[in-house]
Amino acid sequence: KHRLHEPRYLVHIGGLAELRFAREEADGLHLGPLVTLSQLAAHPAVRRDFPSLAKAASLVAGPQLRNMGTLGGNLCLDTRCTYYNQTLFWREALGFCLKKSGTVCHVVPSGRRCVAAHSSDVAPALISLQAEVEVTSRGGRRTLPVDEFFVPDGVHNNALEPGEVVTRVLVPDRSRGMKAGYQKLRPRASIDFPMLSVAFAARANGAGCEEARLVVSAIAAKPRLIGGVDAAARGKRLGDLAEPLAELAYKQCRPLINVPYDGDYRHEMVRVFVRRAVREAAGEAA
């Protein structure tokens, strides 16, 4: 209705039963792109082995939308921006932007690349769990890590080529049972897109943390996999990681004014929500 997308044709794929599945196999949990978000959040294997993914799915929008929305749809969700998700009249009055019909980014006027924010909830959780996505076209199929499925361009922020569709998501067996957490900042807890989201996953034993991944999203066109987390976490108790990882993420993240709420406020919230995600993974009060 805002004329953000004006496709000539729409193809409904909801009737493809072959794309609606959730199977536990030796190499991990195989998920079809047409599994609804409600089904994903309630699936026993997801809740048992990958609880952060179940939680992320449960926090998308409201119940009605989760009953209709799908894993593949949320994974391929369009980016959002304060200057883009407006009426045609509003955008025309200000001047169109890079993402739709214009030549300037109103967030970064000197920039030549759209910085609209990634808004999927399931994507950061999947990246933290080292999941892979399979895409298929008439020419064949290819598999790539979910992190590499996204590109840092808000106009089109995924690696799908014309004619390709998502046909499978694999959450690998090696991530089964990892200590994980997912935290989401949004104005209203009942329906809104994230202003900031954090996913954390770690493998730990009695000797401390063996490996860890931390993802911060909704600040740029691509979820940010925080660098140096594995080295900072190795050998330490999960409960001792909240503060150092919060500082590490804070230094690497620079939220822009691409979604409602002040960028400086969201920057400060990076620390808060990383702490919460790590403490959730450690089984402590978030």
pLDDT digits (tens, 9 = 90+) for 131-174: 999 999 999 999 999 999 999 999 999 999 999 999 999 999 99
pLDDT digits (tens, 9 = 90+) for 189-227: 888 999 999 999 999 987 789 999 999 999 999 999 999
Is the model's pLDDT at 286 over the cut of 80? no
As a whole-number percent, the residues of the chain with pLDDT over 70 amount to: 99
pLDDT digits (tens, 9 = 90+) for 57-76: 999 999 999 999 999 999 99
Is the model's pLDDT at 42 over the cut of 80? yes
pLDDT computed for residue 191 by the predictor? 86
Is the model's pLDDT at 269 over the cut of 90? yes
HEC readout, 158-172: ECCCCCCEEEEEEEE
How many angstroms separate the CA atoms of 84 and 116, rounded?
8
Q: How confident is the model at residue 262 (pLDDT cuts 50, 70, 90)?
A: confident
pLDDT computed for residue 45 by the predictor? 97
Q: How confident is the model at residue 188 (pLDDT cuts 50, 70, 90)?
A: confident
How many angstroms separate the CA atoms of 257 and 219, rounded?
9
- Residue 133 and residue 166 in contact, taking contact as beta carbons nearer than 8 Å: yes
How many angstroms separate the CA atoms of 110 and 108, rounded?
6
pLDDT computed for residue 138 by the predictor? 95
Domains of the chain with CATH codes: 179-281 (3.30.390.50)
How many angstroms separate the CA atoms of 257 and 249, rounded?
18
The amino acid that residue 23 corresponds to is: R
pTM to 2 decimal places:
0.95
Q: How confident is the model at residue 111 (pLDDT cuts 50, 70, 90)?
A: confident
The amino acid that residue 77 corresponds to is: L
Mean pLDDT of the region 85-100: 92
As a whole-number percent, the residues of the chain with pLDDT over 90 amount to: 86
pLDDT computed for residue 2 by the predictor? 83
The 10 Å CB-count burial string (b at 16+, else e) for 195-227 is: bbbbbbbbbbeeeebebbbbbbbbbbbbbbbbe
Mean pLDDT of the region 2-12: 88
Mean pLDDT of the region 252-263: 89
When comparing pLDDT for 33 and 11, which is higher? Answer: 33
How many angstroms separate the CA atoms of 22 and 34, rounded?
10
pLDDT, averaged across the chain: 94
- C-alpha closest to that of 259 among 119, 150, 73: 119
Is the model's pLDDT at 285 over the cut of 70? no
